[in-house]
């Protein structure tokens, strides 16, 4: 295994460890989140290693850091038709981790955002309706705080990290789609 792959795997394992660490408030497990996002659908795990050029493109599209070339996605099929792709994004909000499920529909737009775990004080966690504003959004210049996305009083760092996570996932999804034959 090349050193780049080992680093990518270590990064993902490290993020998973952060989310599962002592004191983390876990609201949904991975399996629960996937069942909620794709009820009654077949879900297949897909692992992709982005090339250096794809990783750079994802960073440029997202306008935020894409920390790893290792991408784990969950593609869902319902009644023989694509239902979307789920990604789990683990990141630091202020000083502690948060893990989000971000579902991208077959048209490349956000279908769902769910908080799986959040270790910051719950006062910093926006309420459900705030997350709904991402639904139907694609990767465009309006997908930013103070544009299409409203800030949250008292949770500005969470709002920023969530918006960055959504941009990162949409960019990765687009790069993966561009690589399809």
Q: Are strands 110-118 and 25-26 parallel, antiparallel or unpaired?
A: antiparallel
pLDDT digits (tens, 9 = 90+) for 9-66: 333 434 444 444 445 689 999 999 999 999 999 999 999 999 999 999 999 999 999 9
Structural domains in the chain (count): 1
Mean pLDDT calculated for residue range 137-164: 94
Which residues contact residue 31 at a Cβ distance below 8 angstroms, ignoring those fewer than 6 apart?
A: none
- pLDDT value at 3 more than 70: no
pLDDT at 24: 64
pLDDT digits (tens, 9 = 90+) for 65-95: 999 999 999 999 999 999 999 999 999 999 9
Q: In sequence order, which ranges of 21-90 are alpha helices (DSSP H)?
A: 30-37, 52-62
| Tokens coding 103 | 């579902």
Q: What CA–CA distance (Å, rounded) separates 44 from 174?
A: 18
Mean pLDDT calculated for residue range 115-122: 94
pLDDT at 155: 87
CA distances from 150 to 19, 115, 124, 134, 144 (A): 26, 18, 15, 10, 9
Q: What CA–CA distance (Å, rounded) separates 141 from 69?
A: 24
Which residues contact residue 16 at a Cβ distance below 8 angstroms, ignoring those fewer than 6 apart?
A: 90
Domain that residue 88 falls in: 3-179
């Amino acid at each position: 295994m090349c050193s780049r792959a080992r680093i990518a795997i270590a990064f993902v394992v490290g993020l998973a460890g952060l989310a599962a660490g002592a004191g983390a408030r876990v609201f949904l497990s991975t399996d629960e989140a996937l069942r909620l996002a794709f009820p009654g659908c077949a879900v297949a795990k897909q692992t992709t290693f982005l090339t250096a050029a794809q990783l750079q493109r994802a960073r440029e599209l997202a306008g935020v850091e894409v920390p790893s070339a290792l991408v784990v996605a969950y593609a869902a099929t319902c009644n023989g038709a694509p239902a979307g792709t789920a990604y789990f994004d683990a990141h630091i909000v202020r000083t502690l981790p948060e893990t989000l499920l971000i579902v991208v529909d077959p048209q490349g737009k956000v279908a769902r955002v769910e908080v799986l775990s959040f270790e910051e004080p719950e006062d910093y966690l926006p309420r459900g309706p705030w997350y709904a504003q991402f639904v139907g959004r694609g990767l465009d210049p309006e997908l930013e705080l103070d544009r299409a996305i409203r800030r949250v009083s008292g949770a500005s760092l969470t709002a920023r990290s969530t918006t960055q996570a959504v941009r990162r996932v949409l960019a990765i999804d687009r790069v993966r789609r561009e690589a399809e034959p």
